[in-house]
Each structure stands twice: as C-alpha cells, then as structure tokens.
C-alpha cells in the first residue's frame, strides 16, 4: 500500500490537513507506544471504474484503492542534521512513497509561528533544506563506509562515483529530483529512501478570508512551479469544521460559501495524479479490488502489491484493459476471443486501469 507522509514546520497545520483528508470512514489508530509513533489512517480513493466493476461482478467483498496517510511531527531547523523531535520522524518520512508538504499561510495570533512571521516561501524552503540535509547525511554515511572498505567491487566503485555526484548536487542545495537518474539507477538507489527524490505535493494551508492573489501565495506557488512541483490551496480549519457536519448541512454551508467541491476530494485526486499513481484491478465473484501502484511499475510489482508470494512465484500476468473489457460487453471469454486478453511477463509495464490476474507457483 502506498504511504503518503505529511511534513512541514511545527504548527503549520499538518494534523489539521490529516484530519481533513482522512475523516470519512478513516480509522485513526494511534500506536500502542503512544507519542513516539505518528498518527496513521487509511483513505479510500474514489474511482468510477471501480464502482462499475462492483456492479458487474457483484462480489462478496469490495475493496477500493487505499492510501495510507501518516501525520508526522513538525520538522524544526536542524532536523536534517539530527536536531529536535522531527529527526526521528524523518525515518517515517523515508518510509513514505510520497510527501505531502503542508505550508502555513493562515494568520492566527493564537498559534505561534516558529519563525515568528507568516512567510510561506521561506517556510517551504526551510523544510526542503532539512530534507536535503538528511539525504546528504545518508550519502555521507554510505561514502565513508565504502571508503573504509579494504576491497571494493567494480559495482561499489561506480556506486561511489554516482553518490559523489549526487552529493555535489545536494551541497548546491538542490533536491535529487533535479538530478538526472535513469529508471535503473533510481531502482538501485531505492534502498536509500532519499527524501528529495520522492514525489511531493505542497499544500498551502490558508484561511478562507485570504485571497489567492496574496503576493505571498503567488511567490510560493511560482517557486514550486519552477521546481516542477504543484502547490494546492486548502482552507484547513474550515474544511475540518465542514467534516464535522452531516452531508446535508455540508451542502448548505458550501452553497453559502460558494464552494463547489470539498477540498478534501480535490486533494486526494490531486495527490493521486501528481504523485504519478495508477490503479489496477483484480476482479471476481469473491472480491473486486483496486490497487495502487507508482507509474511505470511492472507486472511483478503488481504481483508484489497483492502478496510477496505472488511476486516470488510469478509466472505470467493475465491482463485486459478496463476499457477493452467494458467495450466487449464485460465478459472475459469475449475479450479472449478478440485477443484482448493478454499474457504478460515480469517486465510488462502496468497501465492505469489494467485488470490483472497473476499466475504464480510457490
């Protein structure tokens, strides 16, 4: 399951955004150990194709795609070099597939700001720097370990050459997202869980009284665009209040305020799209289920998302595109007759909307 970690400065509204996103049917389970574990919750991703498959198969069980959101402690300056509570939470960020970066825009005299003024562009950069420092630390550790080795393999030599280039890049205060890496290199580096390589969605947490023409909002939005990132706007507190109302009350409230779509739905969709996520489906009489993968994942990744046994014993994936399935009258035999039902190998790149059945042997 894909995990999205929520990062940001202390008191920028991370928990508020977490509550906005995870309210409906989401189970917030604080871990037994208490404060040292972040809040986690599952959110189901709305998908019309999934709803249609449920109608067609009438399964005993239906399981929409889920994403896990993890609400982390605030990152203070220096967290990337080991300071503050935020540091231990960076390891939870490292576990995440994607980051939701909350930036405070709202004015609220009752809520202190760690930097003592409202400046979203500055705040965004502070946190980006902490993420950069943390990645730098990971690289330095690895390089000194490699340097201490008596014998290095050719692979290790090329690894340390690459890491040194990445190190120079980070020292220039640039995220690894902007460092040219092939897919194969990214895969080889995945064990390092570099934070600045993760897809990131910025959430500007505003008051409903603030205008999007506010120069501070423009400044951070433009800087994000230059970095290839998107900054979504959200009325954090207002949306959290809305979440407490019944749906009838919600509608009325939204009409009064002239809001068409809940920020929550927009944000989940935005996160899904921007993070480059795709869905594939498994369907039958027992269960119709939607699964989430990162774009460019292979058939083995899909198998592994279902169960590690399926990845280990993978033989073939039987695949039909959702659109083909619907167009042929929603029957697998018809798809087979038309040659739309394919058998794919390990390296097959899964497409959004693929209906997949894994053949395996363990």
Contacts with Mg ion, residue ranges (CB under 5 A): 14-15
Among 5, 38, 64, 74, binds ligand GTP (CB under 6 A): 74
Among 7, 16, 54, 176, binds ligand GTP (CB under 6 A): 16
298's contact among ligand GTP, Mg ion, none, with CB below 5 to 8 A by partner kind, is: none
Stretch touching ligand GTP by CB under 6 A, among 4-12, 209-217, 289-297, 330-338:
4-12
Distance CA 243, CA 211 (A): 22
Among 236, 263, 304, 353, binds ligand GTP (CB under 6 A): 236
Stretch touching ligand GTP by CB under 6 A, among 9-17, 133-141, 256-264, 300-308:
9-17
237's contact among Mg ion, ligand GTP, none, with CB below 5 to 8 A by partner kind, is: ligand GTP
Interface with ligand GTP: number of residues (CB under 6 A): 17
**Which residues are CB-neighbours of 77 under 8 A, at least 6 positions away?**
83, 114, 126, 130
In what helix (H) or strand (E) does residue 247 lie, and over which residues does it extend? Answer: helix 247-257
User: Which one, 14 or 134, has the nearer CB to ligand GTP?
Assistant: 14
Distance CA 311, CA 288 (A): 20
> Measured from the CB of residue 11, what is the shortest distance to Mg ion in angstroms?
8
Pairing of strands 39-44, 61-63: unpaired
Angle, CA 155 vertex, CA 152 and CA 159 arms, to 5°: 95
In what helix (H) or strand (E) does residue 359 lie, and over which residues does it extend? Answer: strand 354-360
Stretch touching ligand GTP by CB under 6 A, among 3-11, 39-47, 119-127, 217-225:
3-11
Distance CA 338, CA 223 (A): 50
Distance CA 297, CA 229 (A): 22
CB 175 within 8 A of CB 131: yes
Task: Count other Cβ atoms within 10 Å, centred on residue 9.
Answer: 26
Of all residues in this chain, which one has the CB nearest to Mg ion in the complex? 15
> Measured from the CB of residue 108, what is the shortest distance to ligand GTP in angstroms?
4
CB 237 within 8 A of CB 263: no
DSSP 177-206: GGS---HHHHHHTGGG--GGGS-EEEEEE-
User: Which one, 5 or 8, has the nearer CB to ligand GTP?
Assistant: 8
* Among 281, 317, 315, residue whose Cα is nearest residue 56: 281
Site for ligand GTP in 247-286 (CB under 6 A): none
108's contact among ligand GTP, Mg ion, none, with CB below 5 to 8 A by partner kind, is: ligand GTP
137's contact among ligand GTP, Mg ion, none, with CB below 5 to 8 A by partner kind, is: none
Site for ligand GTP in 184-223 (CB under 6 A): 205, 207
236's contact among Mg ion, ligand GTP, none, with CB below 5 to 8 A by partner kind, is: ligand GTP
**Which residues are CB-neighbours of 236 under 8 A, at least 6 positions away?**
13, 16, 17, 20, 106, 205, 206
Half-sphere exposure at residue 265, Cβ-oriented, CA atoms within 13 angstroms: 7
Among 7, 15, 120, 131, binds ligand GTP (CB under 6 A): 15
* Among 168, 181, 274, residue whose Cα is nearest residue 228: 274
User: Which one, 236 or 353, has the nearer CB to ligand GTP?
Assistant: 236
User: Which one, 6 or 98, has the nearer CB to ligand GTP?
Assistant: 6
Among 44, 76, 88, 237, binds ligand GTP (CB under 6 A): 237
Among 81, 108, 141, 157, binds ligand GTP (CB under 6 A): 108
36 counts as binding ligand GTP under rule CB under 6 A = no
Residue numbers at the binding site for ligand GTP (CB under 6 A): 8, 10-16, 73-74, 106, 108, 111, 205, 207, 236-237
């Amino acid at each position: 399951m894909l995990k999205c970690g929520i990062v940001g400065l202390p008191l920028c509204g991370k928990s508020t955004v977490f509550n906005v996103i995870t309210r409906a049917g989401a189970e917030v389970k604080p871990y037994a150990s208490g404060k040292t574990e972040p809040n986690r919750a599952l959110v189901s991703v709305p998908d019309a194709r999934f709803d249609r498959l449920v109608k067609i198969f009438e399964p005993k069980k239906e399981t929409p795609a889920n994403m896990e959101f993890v609400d982390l402690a605030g990152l203070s300056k220096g967290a990337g070099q080991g300071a503050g509570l935020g540091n231990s939470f960076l390891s939870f960020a490292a576990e995440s597939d994607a980051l939701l970066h909350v930036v405070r825009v709202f004015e609220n005299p009752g809520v202190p700001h760690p930097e003592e003024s409202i400046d979203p562009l500055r705040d965004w950069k502070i946190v980006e720097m902490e993420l950069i420092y943390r990645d730098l630390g990971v690289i330095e550790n690895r390089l000194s370990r490699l340097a201490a080795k008596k014998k290095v393999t050719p692979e290790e030599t090329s690894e340390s050459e690459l890491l040194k280039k990445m190190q120079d890049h980070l020292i220039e205060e640039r995220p690894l997202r902007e460092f040219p890496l092939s897919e194969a290199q990214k895969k080889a580096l995945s064990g390092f869980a570099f934070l600045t390589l993760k897809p990131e969605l910025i959430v500007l947490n505003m008051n409903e009284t603030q205008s999007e023409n506010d120069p501070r909002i423009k400044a951070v939005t433009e800087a994000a665009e230059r970095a290839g990132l998107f900054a979504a706007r959200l009325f954090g507190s207002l949306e959290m209040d809305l979440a407490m109302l019944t749906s009838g009350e919600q509608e009325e409230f939204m009409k009064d305020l002239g809001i068409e779509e809940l920020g929550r739905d927009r944000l989940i969709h935005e996160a899904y799209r921007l993070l480059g996520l795709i869905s594939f489906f498994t369907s039958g009489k027992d269960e119709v289920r939607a699964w989430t993968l990162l774009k460019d994942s292979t058939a083995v990744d899909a198998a592994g998302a279902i169960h590690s046994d399926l990845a280990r014993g993978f033989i073939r994936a039987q695949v039909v595109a959702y659109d083909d399935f619907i167009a042929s009258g929603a029957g697998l035999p018809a798809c087979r007759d038309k040659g739309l039902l394919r058998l794919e190998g390990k390296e097959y790149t899964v497409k959004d909307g693929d209906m997949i059945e894994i053949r395996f042997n363990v």
